[in-house]
Structure 1
Amino acid sequence: MSLDPNDAVDAIALGWLRERPGTPVDSIGVVTRLWQAGKFFGDDRTRLLRGADADAATLDLLSTLRRAGSPYRMTTRELAGAALITAGAITQRVARAEKQGLVIRAPRGPGSRQVDVELTQAGHDVVERLVDLVLGRELQLLHHLDHEERDQLARLLRKLLDGLQTQEGDLKPGHVGH
C-alpha cells in the first residue's frame, strides 16, 4: 500500500504505523473516507432540505410512497420495513406528514389493525420537487467522477455492502452493532 503523507487520511495510517509498527491500517483508507463522504453528503442534504423547508425523514416517507407507484399507498408495516425503521418511528413520521397535509391515513378495512398511508396531491407535489432538488444536487457533487467512474464506484460499494451482509448477517444499517 502506498501512503501519501500529504493526504489527511493517509497521514492517520502513517501516524499509527510510526507509533505502533505492525498495526493493521489497511482499512483506514477505505473506512475513514467512507465515513467522511457519508458525513459530507448527509450534512449537505440536511442543509439543502432545511432550505426547502423539509427534512430527511419526511423526504424518506414521501419518496417511499412515490416509488411504490399508483395509488401511492402502503401500510405502515410496509413503510417501516422499506425505511428500515421501527413501527413507532414510522408512526411519528406519518403523523407529522399528515398534519402537514402530505399524506392521509385510513384503516385497511373493518376490524383491521393495519393502516394504509397514501400520498395526497400536496405530498405528491412536494416529493416531486424535493427529489429533483436532492438528486440534482447530489449529481453536482459527483461531477468530478465521469459516468464510468460513478458506475465503478457503485459496483464496488454494492460488493462491499453485499459482503458485509453475508459476513455479518442481514443487519439493517440502523441495527449494526446491536
Structure 2
Amino acid sequence: MALDPDDPIDAIALAWIRERPQTPIHSIPIVTRIWQAAKLFGDDRMRLLREHGTDSATLDLLSTLRRAGTPYRLSTRELADQALITAGAISQRVSRAEGQGLVTRHADPKVARRVEVQLTELGHHTVEQLVDTVLHRENQLLSGLTVDERNQLQHLTRRLLEELHATLDHDHKPGHVGD
C-alpha cells in the first residue's frame, strides 16, 4: 500500500503506523474516503432538495411511486418494503406528501385495511423535476472521472456492498458469536 504523507487521510494511517505499528490500518484510506464521499454527496443532495422545498424522504417516496409505472400506485406495505423503513415511518411520509398535494391515499375495496398511495399530477411533475435535478447534479459531481474510472468504481462499489452484506448479514444472525 502506497501512502502519501501529504494526503490528509493517508497521513492518519501513517501516524497510526508510527504510533502503533501493530495496528491494521489498511481500511483507513478506503473507509475514510468512502465516509467523506458519502457525507459530501449527502450534504449536496440535502442542499439541492432544500432549495426545491423538499427533503430526501419525500424524494424517496415520490421516486418509488414513479418507478412503479402507471398508475404510479403502491400499497403502504409495498412502499415500506421498498424504502426499507417501518410502516409507521412510511405513514408519516405519506401524510406529509398528502398534505402537500403530492399523493393521495385510497382504500383497497378488495382487501380490508390495505391502503394504496398514488402520485397526483403535482406529485408526478415534482418527482420528474427533482429526479432530473438530482441526477444531473450527481453526474456533474462524477464528471471528473473518465468513463473507465466510473465503470471501475461502479464495479468495485458493487463488490464492496456484496461483501459487506454477506459479512454483516452473517454477523447479525441470531446465535452468532457476539450476540
Query: TM-score, normalization: structure 1?
Result: 0.93
Correspondences of 1:11-30 after superposition (within 5 Å)? 11-30=11-30
Q: Write the distance in 2 (CA, Å) between the matches of 1:70 and 1:85.
A: 23
Unaligned stretches of 5+ residues in structure 2: 172-178
Shift, 1:163, TM fit: 0.9
1:131 aligns with 2:131: yes
Q: Which residue identity does 1:28 align to in structure 2?
A: I
Deviations 1:104-158 (A, max 9, x none): 0011125611110000000000000000000000000011011221111011111
* SS of equivalent to 1:69: coil
Change (3 A) 1:170 1:119: farther
Q: Write the distance in 2 (CA, Å) between the matches of 1:121 and 1:72.
A: 10
* SS of equivalent to 2:145: coil
Q: Write the distance in 2 (CA, Å) between the matches of 1:170 and 1:71.
A: 38
Shift, 1:22, TM fit: 1.7
* Corresponding residue for residue 112 of structure 1: 112
User: Between Structure 1 and Structure 2, how many residues are aligned?
Assistant: 172
* Corresponding residue for residue 74 of structure 1: 74
Q: Write the distance in 2 (CA, Å) between the matches of 1:59 and 1:10.
A: 36
Shift, 1:168, TM fit: 1.8
1:158 aligns with 2:164: no
* SS of equivalent to 1:169: helix
Q: Which residue identity does 2:96 align to in structure 1?
A: R
Correspondences of 1:138-153 after superposition (within 5 Å)? 138-153=138-153
Cα RMSD, aligned residues only: 1.5
Q: Which residue identity does 2:17 align to in structure 1?
A: L
Deviations 1:11-66 (A, max 9, x none): 11011111111210000111100000000000000000111111111000000000
Q: Write the distance in 1 (CA, Å) between the matches of 2:12 and 2:111.
A: 60
Query: TM-score, normalization: structure 2?
Result: 0.92
Shift, 1:85, TM fit: 1.0
Q: Which residue identity does 1:75 align to in structure 2?
A: S
Question: Once the two structures are aligned, what percentage of the paired residues are identical?
Answer: 61
Unaligned stretches of 5+ residues in structure 1: 172-177
Q: Write the distance in 1 (CA, Å) between the matches of 2:110 and 2:163.
A: 44
Divergent runs of 4+, >4 A? none
